[in-house]
Structure 1
Amino acid sequence: MSSFNGNMKDGSYYSKSKTMPFQVEEEDISVLIFNYLRALSRGKWVILITFVATVLISVIYSFRQKDIYEGITSVLVRDNTRQSSVIVNFSVTDRRNLANEIEILKSRTLAEQVAYKLLQIIYRDPIRKTDTLDIIKGAGSAKIARVDVIAARIMGAVSVEQVDKADLLLIKFRSHDPEEAAVVSKAIAESYEERSMKYTRNTARSVRQFLEDQLAQKRRLLYESEERLRRFMEDNRVISLDEEGRRMIQRYSLAMSSAEEAEVMVKMLQSSLKAYEQEIRAMTPKLSNSAVQATIDPYTKLFQEEIAKLEVERDKILTDPASRYNVNVQERLQEYNDKIESYKKRLQQSFERQVKQGLSNVNASEAYQELFKNKLNTELELIEQKSKFEAYKKLAEEYDKAFLKSPGVNVEFGRLERKTKSAQELYLLLEKKYQEALIAEEQVPKMVEVIDWAITPGAPIAPNRKANILVGVVIGLTFGVGIVMLIQFLDKTVYTPEQAERLGPLLATIPMMESFDDDVRDKSGASVKVIEGPDAEYKKIASHLVTHFDPKSSVSEAYRTLRTNILFSGVHDFNGSKKQGLIYIITSSSPKEGKSTTISNLAITIAQGGQKVLLIDTDLRRPIIHSIFGYNKEPGITNYLVGRAQIDDIVRNSPIQNLDIITSGTIPPNPSELIGTQRMKDMLQLFRERYDIVLLDSPPIIAVTDPQVLAKVADGMILVLLSGQTQIELAKRSIDAIRKVNAKIIGFVLNSFDFNNSYGSYYKYYRYYNYYYEPKGKNKNVKQGFLTKIIERLVDKV
């Protein structure tokens, strides 16, 4: 035994494990996991109640909600860029951005149009005309709501979605009534379709009206020219011109009509350019300034002007009938065509480069890019038409000068005839364009086409009761576990041996004792009956003297472990050089932590080991040892200290061999002063000589100073911690109080530890010990739940 004692002297047994960092780290991980698993196990009812309550609330909430139905109408927004035959690259309907269309569908303006339409429909079933739509019903006495109220309701329940990357929009309207959901969705689609058609027709109408005004003006000019020519012919009796005069008039009229046609085109292109600029401003207000101000650069403009001049020169040659058979003229025409093609290629490259530069610093949609490109292209066409107008006008002037060289009367006649001819050709051209515009206005393509009208939904889309309940299940579990984890985080109580070991050496872990026997007083075998009324808790404490009543139980073995660890704590000398007995104080941080049960069973266990033990009840404020063993309080230690009894009068022989007991005696008014007297010290010195071990049951150290007074004459103190009750901070304060008087703390005892709710090595130890030491007929196997088995395996793996 001496060699074993040498390795554990002065508590080195407990410090030895600290030299093994790997094991400590592994234990820390296990402890951490175990603490959380223990918290879940202990808080299973909190989790269950929280879970049931949350699921119940989600079920009630889900089934109290009204069903929501959704009517869906799908519409196709066409991406047509229809070129008008009137103006090159002028589109009646330009590319639209679907994001803009979605905003239009959700706008207040369209909602008000839908509200007016619903006020005409009125009924949920428009065919049978039954049941008024809820959306148009007024509040209070009003039968019908105002238009703005209906529009607000529509805006709050409508949603629009784009189908992937297609030009298909889904108009969705939600309502508690399935018929109303379908009716309102249809009304929104109809209003949107009507608005789109009105917009596209207005665009085509503006082209037609412009041509109509121009045609009226040219008709009047043609009539005036014809009338002047007729009067001149009547007054001067002129019938016709010669062949050369007619040829010169034909050239002049063609040149003049081309110039006037170019002038009309300039006006129309300017109108088109203005429309593009307005649409750019409406689409992207933040970018409108740069986009609107962007114009054709001089280099590109020069190419377009040269092309226009070359085309006019080419047309001038083509008007000469003799050019068809002249080889030299044909070669000149080919040169003109080659130059025109070359300039067109360079113009295209320059134009594309300018478009790319104009969009390089703009993060815009495809619709905006197309609109910007069309705007520049229109400006380029405008430059071409202006150049043609100037060139044809100049050419007409040249023909006019040549014609003026004709003799006398033919000059005036030719002038009137050429004006008439020019007006007639321009009128015929505008008449043709006007007819095309009329056809285009009537054949305007529909920008919006309804693909599928909404039908009455057969099932609600919300609430999704299954999903709500599932969310309630998840939230309930999460919330329940969160509450338990929060309680665990805030709980600073000692529960496990690992927590106790962080405070200092752990001498033993005493399992929880749940047995209670009403006849335990009779089983105690005490010969002395209690005179005063029994203490309220003595039966429970007396029933826990398992070391006497059930010495083969696992709890008794735990007390024997405590005895062994105390004897090998370094205070004892097994070589026999120490003659006097040792004094130990058993205390706790607060009342009812099991110190009296611990000291009673420890005394019995040491006595069963063959050593003489004296158990003294020094808790002079709330004594209980006398009730446990069935004695009267008097005479006791206080009677001796005040001189009213002798040593032999207060020492009582218990039925347990080698165990003597001294009760408290009369409760004094000044316990601390009484136990601090010299007489107390002399008495304890006397007991050192008579007994191997003297155990002092003292009051809680935080409550009173009695343990600190006794610590000066004791060899060591043992602090009892109650699992699940003793606060860590309170235990630390108890340690500080003991250290202040330079007393020695031998170690701690963790009392009432629930092995059934523990996992890993502690549970296995308890189970294995029951297997070997529990007598037959008792429940040797501690039942484990499914969750307990899983948690134990997880902890073992860690």
Structure 2
Amino acid sequence: MNEHEHPKIVQDEINLKEVLSPLWTRRWKIIIFTLLMSLVVAFYVSLLKHSYKATAILQIGSNKPKNTLSINDAFNESSASYEQIQTQYELLRSRKFAERVVSKLNLTEHEEFNSGKYNDKLQFLADRGKPSSPPTIGQVVEDFQDRLKISPIVETELVKITFTAYDPRLAQKVANQVGQTYLQYQDEIHSASKESTSQWLVDQLEELGKKLESSEQALQAYRESEGIVDVKGLDGLIESELTELTSSLLKASKKEGDLKVTYQYIQKHKGNYTQLTDLQEINSKPSYIQLRRSEEEIERKLTELSQRYGPKHPKRMSVEAELASLRRNLKEQVNDLVIAIEKEYFSSAEKVKADTERLNITKQNYLKMSRLKNKFSQLQREVETNKELYSNYLIRLKETDAMGNYKSNFYVRFIDKAIIPKGPIAPNKTMAVILAFILSLGFISMVVILRELLMDTLNSRRKLESFNEAPILAVLPKFRPKTHDGDKKYYTDNRFVEAIRTLRTSLLFNHEKKPPKVIAVTSSVPNEGKSTVALELARSFSEMEKVLLIEADMRHPTIYKNMDLPAHRPGLSNLLAKTHQINECIVRDKNVKLDILTSGITPANPLAFLSMKRFNMLIKVFGNFYDRIIIETPPVNAVSDAVIISRLVDSVLYIVHGGKTKREQITTGLRLLRQVNAPVDGVVINHSENIDTDKYQNKYYTNKANIIKLPMRKQG
């Protein structure tokens, strides 16, 4: 076994336990919802009428002198096909057959189809279930078909006819009448079938012969009207012509496009001899190249004569005349080439136009030929189909004449007629309640689990492991306070007390230097239990040292309620306003020897009071007389009081409601505290329901007789 396998299994068990723990936490809500839904279903089922089912059994057989013929042989001497067997079943289920039975028994007037499905226990519900007007034949037939069930018994000739009704006598009557009506229907079929199979085939052959002759005449008439000789050959010629014209048009279009650029350039620079000679179509012509070479030779000759003779010398004048004549010839050559290019461009454009027109005509001919071909193929297929049908029916006629006029008669008889049902088959109250209980239990359990998984709170170990914004100092379980001794509240839950002691130990030993003396307790939003945590933490510290609890939440004070003190007794605000002395404001908790400074009278601006230098001085003065000072502050995200106080303390505890506080709220509050460099030691998860704490504590402290109460420490 791999050494890493066991830890993985343990982790999976823990995760499964955390997923299922919300079910145990909310077990009473789940039980109440499940029982309520079961009671609703039980009450609803009790309002339904009882349903009765009657069954009749028919046999479908043959009267041939040989062995019994099954339904497979009902329509053929050898065996009936599966489709023929299903036809008999569907005949019994058909709407037309149901209308016969409804009319025979006059069910449209029967009370069964004129009342609702509810009984008379609640009259208003029974009246509401009745139709406002008499049902039509269509509605009765539809209801009749829903209640009728045709069930063939496998590998037998037997068929079950079952009908369900609120009236047991009606159920019996309808089941028997269905069999009787089917028997009458078969008799009608045999009496109406007077023509033989041969005569029917002769009639069909006569009709098919007319269709075949008509289709052949239509094909010949179409061939003559359209002049069709060889459809495939003509179609091939048109396709070949279409291909050639398309290729020719593409080449002509390409040539036109190339010449169009040259033509546009010529039109733009027409008359500009220098620009026109830049065209490759001109300067690449052999005649132009020859004239240019002659021009260059004469220019060199003129240059040599210019160096020897003056402007009036006959030889120089003769060369200049020859050069001028050559240049005129060169310009005329360029103009001739330009005109030739323009003509070639116009010729290409005309060719493209002509090819396009020919291609369009060829396309029209191709489409026309396609229509002719499709119509011709359609008429030809019709002729071939009629020939094949005529041939098949002719063969069947010969076979029938050879077999003679054989008839296969089959009949229906009752094996068991329906009797009056002895007891109802529905509603099954026990099964309905059990199903309702199971489904509602599964539904509410799934809702609870999904709700816990989708909540963005710190309500599981998995979510705590992914929380990296601050250390987790302790997880405090959810509990209910117990009251005694004059209705004063004492939080005596063993798990909670031990969790508080664990938090106290973390604060004393987690610091590298000395433990924090002044501790602030805050939270993200109201109602996260910070007042309770602050009071219980102060009581825990008071077991071994002198402690002062200061309620700095002047906006919504709650500690006076827990201590059963007057709401308007003097406290912190009175000390800061200098209206009372310290001994008038501090109250002592005699049960645990704890000194408490409540918030006092609520001022108009608590933030201004807490921002006084006097508040800082009070904390320093109290530090000389107390070993530990715990300050309960307002929520960080609600007001700025906690941010002001956090700068005056040694440690800040951030209380988080495990089931309500969103992670975004926690992150926002911690960010506000870190912006002022507050000494945040970590987060305390309060009201935890799904995170397992050390369960041995409850068991360890259950026996109260084993606990010896030591005398309380005397305070100075």
TM-score, normalisation: structure 1: 0.51
Hey, what does 2:607 align to over in structure 1?
672
* Percentage of identical aligned residues: 25
Distance 1:772 1:737, change over 3 A: farther
Report the Cα offset of residue 672 of structure 1.
Answer: 1.4
Hey, what does 1:450 align to over in structure 2?
414
Hey, what does 2:472 align to over in structure 1?
506
Contact 1:82-1:92 within 8 A present in 2 as well: no
Contact 1:698-1:706 within 8 A present in 2 as well: yes
Hey, what does 1:620 align to over in structure 2?
554
Hey, what does 1:566 align to over in structure 2?
507
Distance in 2 (alpha carbons) for counterparts of 1:63 and 1:37: 35
Distance in 2 (alpha carbons) for counterparts of 1:111 and 1:147: 10
Contact 1:500-1:750 within 8 A present in 2 as well: no
| Alignment match of 1:193 (pick from 183, 189, 193) | 183
Hey, what does 2:653 align to over in structure 1?
718
Residue 682 of structure 2: SS of its match in structure 1? strand
Report the Cα offset of residue 172 of structure 1.
Answer: 2.5
Residue 513 of structure 2: SS of its match in structure 1? coil
| Alignment match of 1:740 (pick from 675, 685, 700) | 675
Distance in 1 (alpha carbons) for counterparts of 2:592 and 2:76: 118
Contact 1:47-1:480 within 8 A present in 2 as well: yes
Distance in 1 (alpha carbons) for counterparts of 2:707 and 2:40: 51
Contact 2:475-2:693 within 8 A present in 1 as well: no
Distance 1:746 1:461, change over 3 A: same
Contact 1:633-1:663 within 8 A present in 2 as well: no
Residue 49 of structure 1: SS of its match in structure 2? helix
Distance in 2 (alpha carbons) for counterparts of 1:25 and 1:453: 67
| Alignment match of 2:694 (pick from 715, 738, 762) | 762
Contact 1:75-1:169 within 8 A present in 2 as well: yes
Contact 2:551-2:597 within 8 A present in 1 as well: yes
Aligned pairs for 1:363-512 (under 5 A) are 379-380=394-395, 382=397, 445-485=409-449, 487-489=451-453, 503=467, 504-510=470-476, 512=479
Contact 2:495-2:695 within 8 A present in 1 as well: no
Distance in 2 (alpha carbons) for counterparts of 1:632 and 1:761: 36
Report the Cα offset of residue 585 of structure 1.
Answer: 0.8
Residue 694 of structure 2: SS of its match in structure 1? helix
Aligned pairs for 1:600-749 (under 5 A) are 600-610=535-545, 613-623=547-557, 628=563, 637-638=572-573, 641=576, 662=597, 664=599, 667-685=602-620, 692-722=627-657, 726=661, 728-749=663-684
Q: How many residues align?
A: 498
Distance 1:609 1:21, change over 3 A: farther
Hey, what does 1:12 align to over in structure 2?
none
Report the Cα offset of residue 40 of structure 1.
Answer: 1.7
Distance 1:684 1:648, change over 3 A: same
Report the Cα offset of residue 384 of structure 1.
Answer: 8.2
CA deviation profile, 1:653-679 (whole Å, cap 9, x unmatched) = 987999765554554322212322344
Gaps of 5+ in 1: 1-19, 84-89, 124-131, 211-266, 278-374, 389-432, 521-538, 575-580, 778-798
Distance in 2 (alpha carbons) for counterparts of 1:165 and 1:596: 80
Hey, what does 1:44 align to over in structure 2?
27
Distance in 1 (alpha carbons) for counterparts of 2:152 and 2:612: 95
Hey, what does 2:222 align to over in structure 1?
none
Distance in 2 (alpha carbons) for counterparts of 1:137 and 1:189: 25
AA in 2 matched with 1:38 = S
Distance in 1 (alpha carbons) for counterparts of 2:110 and 2:591: 94
Report the Cα offset of residue 570 of structure 1.
Answer: 1.9
Hey, what does 1:67 align to over in structure 2?
50
Distance in 2 (alpha carbons) for counterparts of 1:631 and 1:111: 84
CA deviation profile, 1:322-356 (whole Å, cap 9, x unmatched) = xxxxxxxxxxxxxxxxxxxxxxxxxxxxxxxxxxx
Distance 1:276 1:564, change over 3 A: farther
Hey, what does 1:111 align to over in structure 2?
98
Distance in 2 (alpha carbons) for counterparts of 1:136 and 1:605: 77
Contact 1:497-1:506 within 8 A present in 2 as well: no
CA deviation profile, 1:506-550 (whole Å, cap 9, x unmatched) = 333445363323448xxxxxxxxxxxxxxxxxx43xx44x7xxx9
Report the Cα offset of residue 630 of structure 1.
Answer: 6.9
Contact 2:460-2:691 within 8 A present in 1 as well: no
CA deviation profile, 1:220-271 (whole Å, cap 9, x unmatched) = xxxxxxxxxxxxxxxxxxxxxxxxxxxxxxxxxxxxxxxxxxxxxxx75943
Distance in 1 (alpha carbons) for counterparts of 2:10 and 2:652: 27
AA in 2 matched with 1:184 = V
Distance 1:170 1:686, change over 3 A: same
Distance in 2 (alpha carbons) for counterparts of 1:562 and 1:490: 29
Contact 2:504-2:537 within 8 A present in 1 as well: yes
Contact 1:633-1:664 within 8 A present in 2 as well: no
Contact 1:98-1:167 within 8 A present in 2 as well: no
Report the Cα offset of residue 606 of structure 1.
Answer: 3.1
Distance in 1 (alpha carbons) for counterparts of 2:577 and 2:31: 59
Distance in 2 (alpha carbons) for counterparts of 1:379 and 1:49: 79
Contact 1:158-1:172 within 8 A present in 2 as well: yes
CA deviation profile, 1:48-79 (whole Å, cap 9, x unmatched) = 22222232233333333223233333333347
Contact 1:510-1:751 within 8 A present in 2 as well: yes
Report the Cα offset of residue 709 of structure 1.
Answer: 0.9
Aligned pairs for 1:237-316 (under 5 A) are 270-271=201-202
Hey, what does 2:153 align to over in structure 1?
163
Distance in 2 (alpha carbons) for counterparts of 1:663 and 1:115: 87
Q: Once superposed, what is the RMSD of the aligned Cα atoms?
A: 5.2
Distance 1:376 1:761, change over 3 A: farther
Hey, what does 1:524 align to over in structure 2?
none
Distance 1:276 1:471, change over 3 A: farther
Residue 717 of structure 1: SS of its match in structure 2? strand
TM-score, normalisation: structure 2: 0.56
Contact 1:613-1:694 within 8 A present in 2 as well: yes
Report the Cα offset of residue 569 of structure 1.
Answer: 2.2
CA deviation profile, 1:432-468 (whole Å, cap 9, x unmatched) = x9xx96xx77xx6334343333333333333333332
Distance in 2 (alpha carbons) for counterparts of 1:748 and 1:693: 20
AA in 2 matched with 1:41 = W
CA deviation profile, 1:598-639 (whole Å, cap 9, x unmatched) = 3344334434434x5444332333456678497998875545
Contact 1:500-1:748 within 8 A present in 2 as well: no
Hey, what does 1:796 align to over in structure 2?
none
Report the Cα offset of residue 193 of structure 1.
Answer: 1.8
Distance 1:178 1:585, change over 3 A: same
Hey, what does 2:368 align to over in structure 1?
none
Report the Cα offset of residue 505 of structure 1.
Answer: 2.9
Distance 1:622 1:165, change over 3 A: same
Gaps of 5+ in 2: 67-74, 117-129, 209-389, 710-716
Contact 1:74-1:453 within 8 A present in 2 as well: yes
Aligned pairs for 1:176-215 (under 5 A) are 176-203=166-193, 205-207=194-196
Distance 1:766 1:446, change over 3 A: same
